[in-house]
Structure 1
Amino acid sequence: MTELETTDDKAVAPEFISFQEACRYWFKLGWVSFGGPAGQIAMMHLELVEKRRWLTQQSFLHALNYCMLLPGPEAQQLATYIGWLMHGKLGGLVAGSLFVLPSFLILLSLGWIYLSFGQLGIMSGILYGIKPAVTAIVLAAAWRLSRKILSNIGLWGMAIAAFLAIFVWHTPFPLIVLSAALLGAGAGHFYPGKLNGGATHQQKVLPIITGQRQVPAHAIFRWRSFLGTIAVGLALWLASMAGLYGLYGWDGALTQMAWFFTKAALLTFGGAYAVLPYVYQGVVEHYQWLTANQMMDALALGETTPGPLVMVLTFVGCVAGWSQAVFGPEHLFLASAAAAILVTYFTFLPSFVFILAGGPLVESSQGNLKFGAALTGISAAVCGVIVNLAVFFAVPVFWPGHIDVFALTLGAGALLALIRFQAGVIKVILGCGLAGLGHWIAGAWLF
């Protein structure tokens, strides 16, 4: 992130940032936050640090360092952290919620269209073109992560081992994450300096917001506030689970969705791509709430909407609620919407607790976070897991019983555009979707 280091931190900050002004910014950001976590973080830095001067360079990087350590969507957590830093817990709740609200509304609408009209030729043609693009996007993500993370033979070995563990032996994703963390921590202890993950987490920073050069009162760590926030988060989770259990029993589809996506939310180290294999194992192979093609479509639609990529889980919940007809066959859309809301709630609840409880502790720690080696181990394993995800997607797309030459050509072109020409994800998705539509039109006209 060397491009972030050029900001002049001595520029004059505004005397006061009103809560209403901040809300307008977070709402706007939610509608334009395309480009995945890297793009979203860059947008926030450009707007909040360079243009508006709401935050200093040090404060922004300090918040980002903490969010990178957590499971969950780092861009949404960063928005929550900054909102909390400026306006307390209410500011954090509003910032984090508005960051995902537009994406939720868009995906819910797309889910209804997909489930109601998804078998129509035009939409099938568009998705036929998008699927190779999604496979290429996952491969490109694995390639970029590998270049940044796999800096020595040990890390390469961990990535390969993770790939074999999930691809050959179908090892559960949580076990892979735990094993990678333990291996990374052990390597960091016995071979200090071999893993470079902790380097960026040792810097001292001075919180400076709205012209102040001291920690805001609400950012001072207090055990009572820390434990109280955790207690509220646990109470919300327990009350929700208890209500679902009372209404539908433990084996009810909505109860199982709540439990499964809670686990998924706590395992999202390394971004949404890292947890998707676990979600795929659960929703496609174990629970069979979705088919493999529907999971592929979910990722394709998630890639084309603003907000964090983990919002793809909202669409997964939308399809799962519809397919399970949890309120009966006459209320399919209601079931779809309820499941989407439930999945979104249980996916993001831990993120809010992590930020609102941990923020004051992080501000008081002044950057002394020493989990770099364990996180580097997890990141290395994530590279192998993402390659496995690409294989999962590639097989039904490129080999649906035979070699699909058109899909294979389209996927190769998309991968070349992403890696060689640095094309944007949206452009690649739209281009491939149009190509798929053209292929469908040509097929309908010829035959």
Structure 2
Amino acid sequence: MDKKGSLGEVARLFFKLGLIAFGGPAAHIAMMEEEVVSKRQWMSRQHFLDLVGATNLIPGPNSTEMTMHCGYERAGWKGLFVAGGCFIFPAVVFTAVLAWFYVEYGKIPAVEPFLYGIKPAVLAIILGAVYKLGKKALKNLQLGIIGLLTIAVSFLGVNEVTAILGAGLSGMLWFGWLQREKDGKLSSFLPLLLLNAGSVAAKTISNSKLFFVFLKIGAVLFGSGYVLVAYLDGELVEKLEWLTKQELLDAIAIGQFTPGPVLSTATFIGYQVNGFWGAIAATAGIFLPSFFFVLLLNPIIPKLRQSRLARGFLDAVNIGAVGIMMAVTFRLGQEILMDWKTWSIALISIAITLGVKKVNAMWLVLGGALLGYLLYHI
């Protein structure tokens, strides 16, 4: 694609998404698909799928890395940094404000009534994206079988990265080796992984130590926000003893119900440990590896389509990623749809998503928040 878009349009779009992107990576990617593919047509749905599939194979927050890919596709390497920064910025600011409330007063403002309605609305956004991406990814019966197997192993407890890699390897075998490709090779593609950066002593807590601890976490973090809990618990509670378990759980909760990437949890923790500059150091550390990984990965993705072996791998990874989104949606539904009020908000949002063309995800989020606030106290 010719990268001729302006940095201004990239900044405006991803700042807006950063303000309304509730619901975790699957929801964020759904909103991006609507804005970047359906509405603005910055890229084809197939290429968007390729980016989603490849992003699942590198460390870091998948949805944040997808904003960087989209920015790169629209406005080159500068667009990569602008898109990622604008998407991260609102979450960091919201989280820092809540961290200040938490440190000063020991509690945070009540936001549960609004989240009560936002969460079921977000389910509708994810379902809409799964439907559209699934139609594009499901190219033949074999890919359908791989997708169903990915969903099955996800429900059996296999983590996302293992499930998607398994799908990709199945696709390589099925569409590449079994068809006896002779000239196509996959030598240009290797999943990227930054090795463990070493431990940091906890005798004194400086901002540089905060930065390097979170840099290490950001460089090796695969999986969902639940995996992040394990990483942070191991490093900050058990090893370094910078936080208690309760403080960590409070930080994770903040990251879950603010918009944007859940890794903004790092901002909250950094503020708890070392105030404003601690928040800056932790935030920079955990997000910096993602910019590096995407900058390396993005240019090689189109080359994967030139080899049948690599193409089979990528097609299977794509259907695997859609399968993971379906499994995530089901699990979220089990947690969120607990009564008639949440079911009502979800069904209304689904009806709007499927029945109204080009409805903006922002209006679904705001409408869900309003309905949630009105119904919460009934």
Q: Give how far 1:432 is off.
A: 0.4
- Picking from 380, 405, 409, the partner of 2:340 is 405
Q: Give how far 1:429 is off.
A: 0.3
- Picking from 107, 111, 114, the partner of 2:91 is 107
Q: Give how far 1:107 is off.
A: 1.4
User: Which residue number in structure 1 is paired with residue 266 of structure 2?
Assistant: 317
Structure 1 spans left out of the alignment, 5+ residues? 10-16, 47-56, 85-91, 199-225, 227-232, 268-277, 303-311
Structural mapping, 1:64-79, within 5 Å: 70-71=54-55, 73-79=65-71
CA distance in structure 2 between the aligned counterparts of 1:148 and 1:257, rounded to whole angstroms: 37
Distance 1:293 1:407, change over 3 A: farther
- Picking from 279, 282, 287, the partner of 1:344 is 287
One-letter code aligned to 1:405: W
Conserved in 2, the CA contact under 8 Å of 1:290 and 1:320?
no
Q: Give how far 1:316 is off.
A: 3.8
User: Which residue number in structure 1 is paired with residue 146 of structure 2?
Assistant: 158
One-letter code aligned to 1:172: N
Confirm whether residue 171 of structure 1 aligns to residue 158 of structure 2. yes
Structural mapping, 1:334-373, within 5 Å: 334-355=277-298, 358=299, 368=306, 370=308, 371-373=310-312
Distance 1:26 1:387, change over 3 A: closer
CA distance in structure 1 between the aligned counterparts of 2:50 and 2:331, rounded to whole angstroms: 32
Alignment size in residue pairs: 323
User: Which residue number in structure 2 is paired with residue 126 of structure 1?
Assistant: 114
Q: Give how far 1:254 is off.
A: 6.4
Structure 2 spans left out of the alignment, 5+ residues? 19-30, 56-61, 204-208, 234-247
User: Which residue number in structure 2 is paired with residue 384 of structure 1?
Assistant: 323
Give deviations 1:76-99, integer Å, cap 9, x for gaps: 235335655xxxxxxx2x332122
Q: Give how far 1:286 is off.
A: 6.3
The alignment's C-alpha RMSD in Å is: 4.3
Q: Give how far 1:386 is off.
A: 1.1
CA distance in structure 1 between the aligned counterparts of 2:232 and 2:304, rounded to whole angstroms: 44
Q: Give how far 1:381 is off.
A: 1.4
Conserved in 2, the CA contact under 8 Å of 1:296 and 1:393?
no
User: Which residue number in structure 2 is paired with residue 98 of structure 1?
Assistant: 82
Q: Give how far 1:67 is off.
A: 5.4
Distance 1:405 1:334, change over 3 A: farther
2:306 alignment partner, SS class? coil
Conserved in 2, the CA contact under 8 Å of 1:63 and 1:81?
no
Confirm whether residue 180 of structure 1 aligns to residue 180 of structure 2. no
2:224 alignment partner, SS class? helix
Give deviations 1:359-390, integer Å, cap 9, x for gaps: 7x97xx79735522111111121122112212
Distance 1:395 1:119, change over 3 A: farther
Conserved in 1, the CA contact under 8 Å of 2:147 and 2:319?
yes
Conserved in 2, the CA contact under 8 Å of 1:31 and 1:103?
yes
Conserved in 2, the CA contact under 8 Å of 1:248 and 1:254?
no
- Picking from 346, 349, 362, the partner of 1:414 is 349
Give the TM-score normalised by the residue count of structure 2. 0.68
Taking only the aligned residue pairs, the percentage that are identical comes to 13
CA distance in structure 2 between the aligned counterparts of 1:130 and 1:167, rounded to whole angstroms: 25
One-letter code aligned to 1:154: Q
Distance 1:95 1:259, change over 3 A: same
Distance 1:342 1:142, change over 3 A: same
Give the TM-score normalised by the residue count of structure 1. 0.59
Distance 1:295 1:191, change over 3 A: farther
Q: Give how far 1:334 is off.
A: 4.5
CA distance in structure 2 between the aligned counterparts of 1:61 and 1:145, rounded to whole angstroms: 7
Give deviations 1:176-201, integer Å, cap 9, x for gaps: 122111100111125659xxxx9xxx
One-letter code aligned to 1:385: I
Confirm whether residue 40 of structure 1 aligns to residue 36 of structure 2. yes
User: Which residue number in structure 2 is paired with residue 427 of structure 1?
Assistant: 363
Distance 1:179 1:83, change over 3 A: same
